[in-house]
Amino acid sequence: MSIDDRPKVAAPDDDPYLWLEEIEGERALAFVAAQNQRTLTAFGDAGFERDRDALAAIFDRPDNIPFVSRRGGLLYNQWKDATHPRGLWRRTTMAEFRNAQPQWDDLLDVDRLAADEGEDWALNWVSSLPPAHQHAMLALSRGGSDAVVLREFDLTTKCFVPGGFTLAEAKGSADWLDADTLLLSSAYGDGMATPSGYARTVRRWRRGQSIAEAHVIFAAENSRSVWVRASVDRSVTPARVWFSEGLDFFNHHLWLGDEAGARTRLDLPTDSWATPHGDWLAIKLRQPWTVGATTHAADVVLGIRLSAFLAGSRDFVRLFEPGPRRALQGLYWAGGRLVLSVLDELRPRFEVWTPSPQGWSYQQLPGVPEIATVDVWPLDTDESESNGDLLANVQDPLTPPSLQLVENFSAETGAAHLHRRRPCRQPPRGDLGRWHQRSLYPDRAG
């Protein structure tokens, strides 16, 4: 029998800094403040102040690129500048966005909200329900903390919903199951947090219920797991629910289920990255994986029908294989296509695989420069609404950054410029909508 002799708050060892585990503790906060002051005393001279002010002026330029994401046909953006350091959440149309000075429909001024409520609010992420996107769950954090307060917001009235979904501060996330139901992955409540402070359960929370009445439909199976997460796949009818349990930050279990909590665990290496879409599944390996008589190398991407995989088939198609100077940067679905972001001899390549009953077809994303820094991502926040449109941020040492639209592409189409401006400090996902490709890992979106 093994004995876990690691120190705990209830049974500490002789570590003289164990009190730093109390993140919001008075002593810990005083220690951090003292270290900050030491740093400012050593480095906060006139040169530091000049650099700080110069960078702030660059970040606050009015001609910075307003990165966007699309929800229900409208483009959303969270804009930050000297007047709105916390952010102005707004939207516009595609036709208007193509103009040099687009007109915006302001939804929420986070700076005004913070002032009115006397809170240090930051807007961490947004979750809205397609296709109407009438209501959204906003994740507001104090000072940019991982822990968030959830509040339901009406995008028509531009107000928080009276008596709507609200949840006190905790680490976690939420996804809409329907207009009156949330799948809540939150550490809020007794017994709802893992030892790491993330959500231990997924609860089905119906409108009008108190959080205490929300039904637990999934819970971590391992007592030392870091987090659990749920996500809704609306690309099929009825919608599917994916559950994920993080054993640590590199290993996880993945289940396919439904809102009632029924689930089937996928027989995958725990350190692989599985990306489902409808009846298709792409798997990126981190370590070699032997299936039957076949060994798939590390960093290979495999494709297969999800229904076939669940039925026991392991007849994978290899969609990507690494090389000495060829590496995968990421993968995601857009408009039913799997897009692979590749560096080949340091050149950006975006390889597109389209699955069909006849097999997988391949093409390379057109219009990407040979030598440049290129980031490409889906325009739509929800896969079920994606027609394949992509956004590309392109720059090189001699060319300022530009935002390009790659419309429902084919081998004959390329990328059309939306904006060519200086970079901005907004994240390259537009309006802080959660990264929607169901990676099911903890990330900036909670």
Select the more confidently predicted residue: 9 or 303: 303
Query: What pLDDT score was predicted for residue 21?
Result: 82
Determine what percent of the chain is predicted with pLDDT higher than 70: 89
Evaluated on CA atoms 157, 159, 162, 166, the torsion sign reads: positive
Query: What pLDDT score was predicted for residue 22?
Result: 86
**Of 174, 164, 110, 183, residue with least CA distance to 142:** 110
415 band by pLDDT with thresholds 50, 70 and 90: low
Q: Would you say residue 372 has pLDDT above 80?
A: yes
Please provide the DSSP assignment of 177-239 as one string: EETTEEEEEE--STT-B-TTSSB-EEEEEETT--GGGPEEEEE-SSTT--EEEEEEETTSSSP
Can you read off the two tokens belonging to residue 341? Answer: 């972001």
Q: Would you say residue 426 has pLDDT above 60?
A: no
Mean residue pLDDT of the chain comes to: 89
Which amino acid is located at 89 in the chain?
W
Peptide bond between residue 366 and the one before it cis (omega within 30 degrees of 0): no
The string of pLDDT tens digits covering residues 91-149 is 999 999 999 899 999 999 999 999 999 999 999 999 999 999 999 999 999 998 999 99
Select the more confidently predicted residue: 261 or 186: 186
Which amino acid is located at 319 in the chain?
L
The string of pLDDT tens digits covering residues 44-73 is 999 999 999 999 999 999 889 999 999 999
Helix (H, G, I), strand (E, B) or coil at 28: helix
What pTM does this model have?
0.87
Query: What pLDDT score was predicted for residue 445?
Result: 29
Helix (H, G, I), strand (E, B) or coil at 441: coil
334 band by pLDDT with thresholds 50, 70 and 90: very high
Helix (H, G, I), strand (E, B) or coil at 52: helix
Phi and psi at residue 174, in whole multiples of 5°? -150, 145
Averaged pLDDT for residues 227-256: 94
Select the more confidently predicted residue: 324 or 442: 324
CA distance linking residue 24 with residue 30, whole number of Å: 10
Contacts of 397 (CB under 8 A, 6+ apart): none
H helix or E strand, kind and range, residue 149: strand 148-154
